[in-house]
């Protein structure tokens, strides 16, 4: 049975198996048509009643198999296609047909090959050889039985047919082995290709993360933030606004000068951890440059933006750094709102001016651009 992707549902598999069974059943119809042609041309030795009974039994077998497939009982077997069973049934009926033919027996030998081709791509090499042995023993046994009964019309022709069948079956076995080996190699190459594709996808995701994030803090970098903020501006409408804030860590240069750059890096990482804990999942925080960060809060009001920035400011003042005696950590925030039609650069400029007022006003506070507009 051909390999089916694990993502294919059992219903789809059963539909494919039914189509394959329909193909096999149509082959039975064609063979029965040939049998009745042999009957009307006097090449069929058995009585007409035997031919009718045989044809009815063949049809009954196919109807029983159809019921098995329609009822889903075939899915209980290791091979849901029941290929071996169908092949053995066909070989049995073929041998029964040949037993009732005389001079036309050689013409119908080709049906053996047709039946074995049906199982070529679906039977394992071991099962295929077993079916081939059944074919050869059945036909050889039929010829030997007729020779023993002294009813064999032409022993030389019978021997030639047995030998020709042996050669064809041997070729089929070799070809089946080649096909199975080729399919196995193709399957291994496909699995290897899928593994390489998964590796490449993982590498691409890692590369995208490296391009989009700041290595020190793990936050988004400036370029990725600007791209995301521009996309949010393009898709927003008049029913809501976004909150935008620029955040600057107070006296950061003093920390670097007093404790070294490693301590400064630890402060930046501590801020990133605190801010991530304070923000919602949809909020976007990025390192804008140096000790400056930028925050975008979607679907935000002025009150919500102010409350969020104040919580963040308050949380940062309580940060304790391991192994460092850095006191009085604080930050300043400049806030503005993004409306439909806003220019991102202009909005960042408004937030920057608000941040400047917060710094000038003594630091460790939040200033809003709309406060300056109201004034």
Tens-digit pLDDT profile for residues 106-142: 778 888 888 888 888 778 888 888 889 998 998 888 8
Can you tell me the distance from the alpha carbon of 31 to that of 39, in angstroms, rounded to the nearest whole number?
12
Catalytic: 146? no
Q: What is the DSSP string of 300-345?
A: --HHHHHHHHHHHHHHHHT---TT-------EEEEEEEE-TT--HH
- What pLDDT is attached to residue 65? 87
Which of these is catalytic: 198, 215, 232, 291?
Answer: 291
- What pLDDT is attached to residue 94? 84
All structural domains of the chain: 10-195 (no CATH), 222-374 (3.30.70.270)
Q: In what order do the strands lie in the sheet with 366-368?
A: 284-289, 292-297, 242-249, 331-338, 366-368
- What pLDDT is attached to residue 372? 62
Which residues, including other chains, have CB under 8 Å from residue 293's CB and lie 6 or more apart?
219, 246, 247, 248, 271, 275, 285, 286, 287
- Say if CB 313 and CB 206 are below 8 A apart: no
**Token reading at 127:** 């099962």
Can you tell me the distance from the alpha carbon of 134 to that of 348, in angstroms, rounded to the nearest whole number?
83
- Say if CB 141 and CB 114 are below 8 A apart: no
Q: Which residues of the chain have pLDDT under 70?
A: 1-8, 209, 372-375
Q: Which residues on adjacent β-strands are paired with residue 251?
A: none
Quick check: helix, strand or coil at residue 249? Answer: strand
- Say if CB 136 and CB 95 are below 8 A apart: no
Can you tell me the distance from the alpha carbon of 170 to that of 87, in angstroms, rounded to the nearest whole number?
17
- Say if CB 165 and CB 111 are below 8 A apart: no
Cα 69 off chain centre by: 27
Can you tell me the distance from the alpha carbon of 30 to that of 110, in angstroms, rounded to the nearest whole number?
13
Q: What is the dihedral of CA 351, 296, 364, 263, to 10 degrees?
A: -120
Pairing of the two strands 366-368 and 331-338:
parallel
- The residue among 143, 116, 132, 141 whose CA lies nearest residue 166 is 132
């Amino acid at each position: 049975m051909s390999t089916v992707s694990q993502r294919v549902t059992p219903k789809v598999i059963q539909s494919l198996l039914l189509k394959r069974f329909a193909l096999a059943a149509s082959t039975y119809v064609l063979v029965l048509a040939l049998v009745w042609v042999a009957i009307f041309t006097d090449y069929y030795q058995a009585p007409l009643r035997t031919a009718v009974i045989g044809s009815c039994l063949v049809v009954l077998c196919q109807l029983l198999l159809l019921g098995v497939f329609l009822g889903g009982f075939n899915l209980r077997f290791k091979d849901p296609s029941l290929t071996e069973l169908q092949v053995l049934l066909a070989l049995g009926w073929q041998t029964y047909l040949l037993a009732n033919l005389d001079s036309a027996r050689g013409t119908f030998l080709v049906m053996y090959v047709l039946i074995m081709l049906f199982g070529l791509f679906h039977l394992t090499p071991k099962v295929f050889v077993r079916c081939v042995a059944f074919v050869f023993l059945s036909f050889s046994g039929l010829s030997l039985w007729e020779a023993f009964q002294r009813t064999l019309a032409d022993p030389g022709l019978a021997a030639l047919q047995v030998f020709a069948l042996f050669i064809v079956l041997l070729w089929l076995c070799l070809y089946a082995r080649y096909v199975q080996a080729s399919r196995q190699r193709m399957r291994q190459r496909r699995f290897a290709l899928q593994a390489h594709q998964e590796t490449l996808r993982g590498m691409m995701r890692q590369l995208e993360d490296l391009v989009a994030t700041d290595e020190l803090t793990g936050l988004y970098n400036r370029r990725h933030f600007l791209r995301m903020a521009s996309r949010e501006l393009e898709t927003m409408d008049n029913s809501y606004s976004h909150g935008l804030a620029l955040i600057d860590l107070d006296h950061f240069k003093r920390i670097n000068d007093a404790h070294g750059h490693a301590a400064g890096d630890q402060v930046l990482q501590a801020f990133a951890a605190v801010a991530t804990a304070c923000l919602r999942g949809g909020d976007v925080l990025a390192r804008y440059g140096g000790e400056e960060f930028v925050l975008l809060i979607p679907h935000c009001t002025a009150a919500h933006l102010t409350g969020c920035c104040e919580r963040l400011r308050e949380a940062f003042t309580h940060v304790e750094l391991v192994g460092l005696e850095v006191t009085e950590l604080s930050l300043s925030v400049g806030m503005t709102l993004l409306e439909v039609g806003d220019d991102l650069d202009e909005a960042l400029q408004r937030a920057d001016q608000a941040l400047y007022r917060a710094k000038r006003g003594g630091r460790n506070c939040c200033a809003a651009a709309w406060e300056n507009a109201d004034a």
